[in-house]
Amino acid sequence: MTENFKASNRRAVLDFIRTRYPISRSQLSRISGLNKATVSGFVTDFLRQGVVAETGSGVAAAGRKPVLLSFVADSAYVIGLLLNVRSVRMVITDLEGTIVWQTREPLGDEGASSTLDRIAIIIEDGVRRVGIPFSSIVALGIGVPGLVDFQAGVIVQTPNMGLSSVSLKQWLEMRFHIPVFVDNAANVSAVGEKLFGAGRHYEHFVYVSVSTGIGGGVVMNGQLQRGAFGFAGEFGHMVVEPHGLSCRCGGQGCWEMYGSLKALYRQTARHIGEDPAAYRPDILVTVVDAAARGETWAIEGLNYIGFYLGVGVASIVSAFNPHAVLIGNEIAIGAKWIMPIIETVVQTHCSLPIIKDLTLLMLEYDDNKAVVGAAGMGIDGFLDQLTHRKIRRWC
Amino acid sequence: MTENFKASNRRAVLDFIRTRYPISRSQLSRISGLNKATVSGFVTDFLRQGVVAETGSGVAAAGRKPVLLSFVADSAYVIGLLLNVRSVRMVITDLEGTIVWQTREPLGDEGASSTLDRIAIIIEDGVRRVGIPFSSIVALGIGVPGLVDFQAGVIVQTPNMGLSSVSLKQWLEMRFHIPVFVDNAANVSAVGEKLFGAGRHYEHFVYVSVSTGIGGGVVMNGQLQRGAFGFAGEFGHMVVEPHGLSCRCGGQGCWEMYGSLKALYRQTARHIGEDPAAYRPDILVTVVDAAARGETWAIEGLNYIGFYLGVGVASIVSAFNPHAVLIGNEIAIGAKWIMPIIETVVQTHCSLPIIKDLTLLMLEYDDNKAVVGAAGMGIDGFLDQLTHRKIRRWC
DNA sequence: TCTATTTGGTTGGAGTCTAAACAAATGATA
DNA sequence: TATCATTTGTTTAGACTCCAACCAAATAGA
């Protein structure tokens, strides 16, 4: 029940090095508030472990020149997986999330056991081809659409995928003997932003993923919050129109029905001669192009989801009072049109002290961000483990 | 920046004693996961400090009988204040929140400095009359309607009260030389529930206060979360009807406009011959009585706010995934009518895994809960301080 | 060359926590 | 009645975290 609060500062110092290198020991001491001796001790260990290296010396106004420390991004590698209904994406990245190998493979619906085998083969194949010794791969992060039990590493609820109620974590840890972290796609993206992206500078932020559906991840006190049962941040089913459309979840007026690309499609389909009850994943590109040509229906469609996105974000801001709300995923393609609306709606709906210092950002869209986030989940776990015991090499 | 993670386990052990006494050292060791020696060491200090006492012995299946430990609630006292527009409530309680003195005084609008003086006199007077030596009063907690900067102890935004932008904390700490904690009324109530009430058994819960307005407090990992700038839990201005009524905050369709007693009044006023644009604080009693007599308009009114309360709670549950949502304050008078509606709405709006183990509770209404919560804020601070240094008596 | 200044390492010690051994108490068993 | 197994709680040695106070090294400028 009660935990052991050892070594939390080690991780903090390593994170300072990671995010601000090149940096000297004394700078670290100053910004962390820890004693020079403490920092020196940590750094000695990091050097021995190989995650940090001394790289030249810096300048000083007077006195001895500082020895600059750098984070050694390629001292270890991790694997990121993103499972989808019909495919898997895989990346191998260094500790800074730089991709050194990537692939995307179709995934049949052949039952859990054979799917798992296939994933294992994809991983082994990737590792072999990139030419990194397996021993330097230190963790595996997996993103899954749907609800995940992070502790157990089990998929709890997901749109038609064969892997439900299998312990991905257990199976893969048995097979590869490295720690495996499974979480939903929005949470891994949030961790990605926390480590490598816009979230780096915020202690409290909320990541909102908007594409076909809406998901999210909550970071408070610099840590991903999973709530009581691991499902915190399921923003897609917040209610924005209590008397509105029915959602497949059984509820009515879910945010996902009004602010997602599904909603955009519904609002614009008839203008492009499509069935409003269907869906096309590339709807946003089509609509943005039309809006750029000045088509009213397109602009109205974008205003429509922009308005509802603003409404939901306003509620999130009131509830969490974060430093920042980061809106990511495909929606970013329409940033130019949608972002101003969201900003206006949030400004009119939240009290001044709450939004005074709030940052509202729409992130660049990058197809790879979610998989890299999955890798990030692995990196986060690895760095935690690394800073939790003094003597430990992963050779 | 970085903190010192000392002594967190001490507080955990003291909390186990506080909430489960009588309890033995070995039981504490087992439930806390800490070593027997560690627990024994802590307990020795607690005994010396006087917060814990040995009170007889328990039974064992075999072997040595355990020495039972108890929390000594009257080893110290705290003051709780609840500021309102025209009055102050004050309580003096022991460390379990049991009231030993209470009073309520009117408060004029005579400017900050004279109001502060008046509060100080009320406090001194109360302490003198209850006959507790001032030295055994160890903290002061204050609840305020509106937005508060907890760190600074300054009221940031509040409906017409003379004390805005004065540092209550600083002023009162200078005057009484005990730690002062100022927070908004909902947060203070949440802390009260965490320490003494229904929140005791939940690590993650959300407290929602519903009366004229709606406020809230978020407890995650057993700790009140204040967000980035201290305003987390401002649920009143979450948006539940994007195209709905204008709120005094400048927004539209705020939860407060649909789920609060203000909303109930608006919906029912004409049936009791009142002006729908006005407000009567006792509206709920009137409506509940009418509902009990079978008046349709009254039942409809309760259904109305019940529905919207359910909608908001559903959003909160999706966002935070707490163990429990505790709904408190005046609304509880209508629990019998409103609670079933809330439950139904939440059940239809949230996915199964999220609500499977969710507890939804409407708390008993007690006029004193908020002031006692304020005292609780003080107790929480005191216990933290008590467990942060080894040698320390507050004699 | 000397000095003031800054970086970074070393040392002693306080504090947290554990494992292991030990002492004390007690019901059951021989 | 004596012994034994069992459980409680204490003591001790030691690992780990962290800091204050030095000390040593490096360096720009007097």
**pLDDT tens profile B340-385:** 999 999 999 988 888 899 999 999 999 999 999 999 999 999 998 8
> In the prediction, which pLDDT does A360 show?
97
Last residue of some domain: B32, B56, B71?
B71
Give me chain B's average pLDDT, please: 90
> In the prediction, which pLDDT does B330 show?
95
> In the prediction, which pLDDT does B6 show?
47
Residue A181 lies in a domain: yes
- Whether residues B177 and B292 share a domain: the answer is no
Residue B186 lies in a domain: yes
Here the tokens at position A344 are 């206006």
Give the phi and the psi of residue A206 in degrees, each rounded to 5: -120, 130
| Percent of chain B residues topping a pLDDT of 70 | 95
How far is Cα of residue A326 from the mean position of the Cα atoms in its chain?
A: 11
Which of A232, A239, A353 lies at the smallest CB-CB distance from B314?
A239
Answer left, alpha or beta for residue B146, where phi above 0 means left and psi between -120 and 50 means alpha.
left
Q: Which residue of A has its CA nearest to B244?
A: A241
Question: Positive or negative, the Cα torsion across A186, A191, A196, A198?
Answer: positive
Interatomic CA distance for residues B103 and B126, integer angstroms: 8
> In the prediction, which pLDDT does A261 show?
96
User: Each residue's pLDDT tens digit in chain A (395 positions)?
Assistant: 444 444 578 888 999 999 988 898 988 998 888 888 889 888 988 888 889 998 877 776 667 788 889 999 999 999 999 998 888 999 999 999 999 999 999 987 777 778 888 899 999 999 999 989 999 999 999 999 888 899 888 888 776 666 677 889 999 999 999 999 999 999 999 999 999 999 999 999 999 999 999 999 999 999 999 999 999 999 999 999 999 999 888 889 999 999 999 999 999 999 988 888 889 889 999 999 999 999 999 999 999 999 999 999 999 999 999 999 999 999 999 999 999 999 999 999 988 888 899 999 999 999 999 999 999 999 999 998 888 754 433 32
Burial (CB < 10 A; 0-12, 13-18, 19+), residue B373, is buried
Sequence-ordered list of residues with C-beta below 8 angstroms from that of B236, at least 6 positions apart, any chain: A318, B213, B214, B215, B216, B254, B255, B256, B260
- Whether residues B244 and B285 share a domain: the answer is yes
Interatomic CA distance for residues B126 and B176, integer angstroms: 14
Which residues does chain A have within 8 Å of residue B154's beta carbon, measured at their own beta carbons?
none
Q: Do A318 and B234 touch (CB under 8 A)?
A: yes
B44 contact to strand D (CB, 7 A limit): yes
The CA–C1' separation of B319 and C30, in angstroms, is 65
Interatomic CA distance for residues B13 and A384, integer angstroms: 25
> In the prediction, which pLDDT does A5 show?
43
- Whether residues A12 and A81 share a domain: the answer is no
Residue A161 lies in a domain: yes
Alpha helices in chain B (DSSP H): 8-20, 25-32, 36-49, 112-130, 168-176, 185-196, 256-259, 261-268, 283-292, 296-320, 335-349, 352-355, 369-386
Answer left, alpha or beta for residue B288, where phi above 0 means left and psi between -120 and 50 means alpha.
alpha
- CA nearest to A297, candidates A283, A278, A280: A283
Interatomic CA distance for residues A68 and A43, integer angstroms: 11
Interatomic CA distance for residues A253 and A259, integer angstroms: 11
Sequence-ordered list of residues with C-beta below 8 angstroms from that of A355, at least 6 positions apart, any chain: A317, A346, A347
Number of domain units in chain A: 3
Chain B residues 6-35 within an 8 A CB cutoff of chain A: 8-9, 12-13, 31-34
Say which range, A132-136, B1-5, B185-189, B217-221, has the weakest mean pLDDT: B1-5
Residue B5 has pLDDT above 60, yes or no: no
The CA–C1' separation of A13 and C2, in angstroms, is 38
> Which SS3 state, helix, strand or coil, does residue B392 take?
coil
Sequence-ordered list of residues with C-beta below 8 angstroms from that of A46, at least 6 positions apart, any chain: A14, A17, A52, A69
- Whether residues B296 and B328 share a domain: the answer is yes
A40 touches chain B (CB under 8 A): no
- Give residue A63's domain range: 8-71
**pLDDT tens profile A182-207:** 999 999 999 999 999 999 999 999 99
- CA nearest to B330, candidates B184, B160, B158, B186: B186
The CA–C1' separation of B61 and C26, in angstroms, is 10
Give me chain A's average pLDDT, please: 89
Strands (E), B128-213: 137-144, 147-149, 154-157, 180-184, 205-210
Note whether B361 and B327 are within 8 A (CB).
Answer: yes
CA dihedral A18, A19, A21, A26 (to 10 degrees): -90
Question: Positive or negative, the Cα torsion across B124, B127, B128, B133?
Answer: negative
Here the tokens at position B93 are 């309680």
Here the tokens at position A7 are 């070594």
- Whether residues A315 and A378 share a domain: the answer is no
Report the alpha-carbon angle B304-B307-B308, nearest 5.
90
Which of A238, A251, A354 lies at the smallest CB-CB distance from B348?
A251
> In the prediction, which pLDDT does A32 show?
85
> In the prediction, which pLDDT does A146 show?
84
Q: Do A232 and B13 touch (CB under 8 A)?
A: no
Note whether A47 and A53 are within 8 A (CB).
Answer: yes
From edge to edge, which strands make up the β-sheet containing B137-144? B99-106, B87-94, B77-83, B137-144, B180-184
Interatomic CA distance for residues A304 and B201, integer angstroms: 43
Q: Do B321 and A236 touch (CB under 8 A)?
A: no
- Whether residues A182 and A283 share a domain: the answer is no
Last residue of some domain: B33, B50, B71?
B71
Does B22 sit behind a cis peptide bond, omega within 30 degrees of 0 on the bond before it?
Answer: yes
Residue A395 lies in a domain: no
- Whether residues A90 and A173 share a domain: the answer is yes
Q: Do B349 and A5 touch (CB under 8 A)?
A: no
- Whether residues B80 and B65 share a domain: the answer is no
- Whether residues A108 and A168 share a domain: the answer is yes
- CA nearest to A230, candidates A326, A144, A324: A144
Interatomic CA distance for residues B340 and B355, integer angstroms: 15
Which residues does chain B have within 8 Å of residue A183's beta carbon, measured at their own beta carbons?
none
Which residues does chain B have within 8 Å of residue A354's beta carbon, measured at their own beta carbons?
147, 229, 231, 234
- CA nearest to A218, candidates A121, A144, A317: A317
> In the prediction, which pLDDT does A389 show?
55
The CA–C1' separation of B199 and C5, in angstroms, is 56
- CA nearest to B28, candidates B85, B79, B70, B80: B70
3-class DSSP string for B29-65: HHHHCCCHHHHHHHHHHHHHHCCEEEEEECCCCCCCC
Nucleotides of C under 7 A from a protein CB: 4-12, 15-21, 23-28
| Percent of chain B residues topping a pLDDT of 90 | 68
Chain B residues 100-139 within an 8 A CB cutoff of chain A: none
Query: What H or E segment, with its residue span, contains residue A362?
Result: strand A359-362
Nucleotide nearest to A2 (CA to C1'): C17
> In the prediction, which pLDDT does B229 show?
92
> Which SS3 state, helix, strand or coil, does residue A275 take?
coil
- CA nearest to A346, candidates A273, A262, A259, A278: A259
B220 touches chain A (CB under 8 A): yes
Chain B residues 253-312 within an 8 A CB cutoff of chain A: 254, 307-308, 311-312
Nucleotide nearest to A57 (CA to C1'): C7
Q: Do B228 and A357 touch (CB under 8 A)?
A: yes
Residue B1 lies in a domain: no
Residue A391 lies in a domain: no
Interatomic CA distance for residues B157 and B177, integer angstroms: 26
Q: Do B321 and A31 touch (CB under 8 A)?
A: no
The CA–C1' separation of A49 and C7, in angstroms, is 23
Residue A250 lies in a domain: yes
Nucleotide nearest to A390 (CA to C1'): D16
> Which SS3 state, helix, strand or coil, does residue A344 take?
helix
Q: Which residues of B52-78 are buried (b: 16+ CB within 10 A; e: fewer)?
A: beeeeeeeeeeeeebebbbbbbebbbb
B39 touches chain A (CB under 8 A): no
Residue B211 has pLDDT above 90, yes or no: yes
Q: CATH number, domain at B36?
A: 1.10.10.10
Determine the distance in angstroms separating the CA of A68 from the nearest CA of chain B, rounded to an integer. 21
Residue numbers 334-353 of A with CB closer than 7 A to any atom of strand D = none
Interatomic CA distance for residues B15 and B51, integer angstroms: 11
A36 contact to strand D (CB, 7 A limit): yes
- Whether residues A47 and A124 share a domain: the answer is no
Give the phi and the psi of residue A216 in degrees, each rounded to 5: -165, 170
Interatomic CA distance for residues A232 and A319, integer angstroms: 13
Give residue B144's identity as a one-letter amino acid code.
Answer: V
- CA nearest to B124, candidates B82, B177, B73: B177
Select the residue from B23, B32, B231, B347 to test the A interface by mutation, using most A Cβ atoms within 10 A.
Answer: B231
Q: CATH number, domain at B117?
A: 3.30.420.40
> In the prediction, which pLDDT does A125 show?
93
Residue A3 lies in a domain: no
Residue B392 has pLDDT above 50, yes or no: no
- Whether residues A311 and A206 share a domain: the answer is yes
Nucleotide nearest to A27 (CA to C1'): C7
Please give the full DSSP string across A25-43, using - where no structure is assigned. Answer: HHHHHHHH---HHHHHHHH
Which residues does chain B have within 8 Å of residue A360's beta carbon, measured at their own beta carbons?
none
Nucleotide nearest to B67 (CA to C1'): D8
C-alpha separations of B364 from B201, B367, B376 in Å: 17, 10, 18
The CA–C1' separation of A48 and D18, in angstroms, is 20
- Whether residues A249 and A340 share a domain: the answer is yes
**pLDDT tens profile B15-51:** 999 999 899 999 999 888 888 898 998 999 899 889 9
Residue B4 has pLDDT above 60, yes or no: no
Q: Do B308 and A242 touch (CB under 8 A)?
A: yes
> Which SS3 state, helix, strand or coil, does residue B344 take?
helix
